Amino acid sequence: MQRTQKIPLDERIIFALDFADPGEALAHVERLDGRIRFFKVGLQLFLAGGWPVVDHIVKRGNKVMLDLKLYDIPATVRLAVARFADRGISFATVHGYTPVVEAALAADSGVKILAVTVLTSMGNEEVSELNFQGTVEDLVVTRAKKVLAIGCDGLVCSAREAARLRRECGLDFAMVTPGIRPADTKTDDQKRVATPGRAIRDGADHLVIGRPIRDAEDPAVTITAIQQEISAVLHS
């Protein structure tokens, strides 16, 4: 997958700043600075710290994935995404329903829009409750094809679906995969997980990783090991 070779190694991992305290989150940014240059600001942290958190990360020369997973009527989504302009945000997430994605793209904010296909906490049982006739993977692919056809910049999906998405949808979109767990770590509340090496091998561009780094005895050692695993796959 040649296109993925162009991404710097220190931007492959998107560190999940899943903290309620903005001060704690920014302390982690400073602690990891130089090893990781991409950070995810989710709903919890954004509600606690707002734009100052995003601005602080960007001013340090890092990238931000604003992971609010917007889902509302199209007019509201378009107006919300328009507010993301000129903040230095690299990625913003919306739910992978076609009208929502269309509205986010129509905002023309300059931010790359990622569609969340199916949350990685969902399994086949939850998908069956949606009255969808198929597996989680089938639903992911169905939604992915629809949003990519209207120009969505990329997808947030489980690494378990990455290989099939690359086969059926091609290379011309960014793929961000949460639910990444190095070998011998707990899966926590994620049902569809994969190791860093497998995710990259199957076509992921960026890996969202939080707890395995945050809770490591030595986060720097963990980051180095993950980056070495990624590099080995890319150059194999």
Catalytic residues: 69
Angle (deg, nearest 10), helices 136-149 and 98-106: 30
Q: Which residues contact 196 (CB under 8 A, 6 or more apart)?
A: 180, 182, 207, 209, 226, 229, 230
Please calculate the CA angle 108-112-117 and round it to the nearest 5 degrees: 115
3 state DSSP class of 143: helix
Q: Which residues contact 65 (CB under 8 A, 6 or more apart)?
A: 14, 38, 39, 40, 41, 89, 90, 91, 92, 93, 114, 176, 206, 208
From first CA to last CA, the distance across the chain in angstroms is 11
Cα gap 141→230, rounded to integer Å: 25
Write out the DSSP string of 78-99. Answer: HHHHHTTTTS---EEEEES-HH
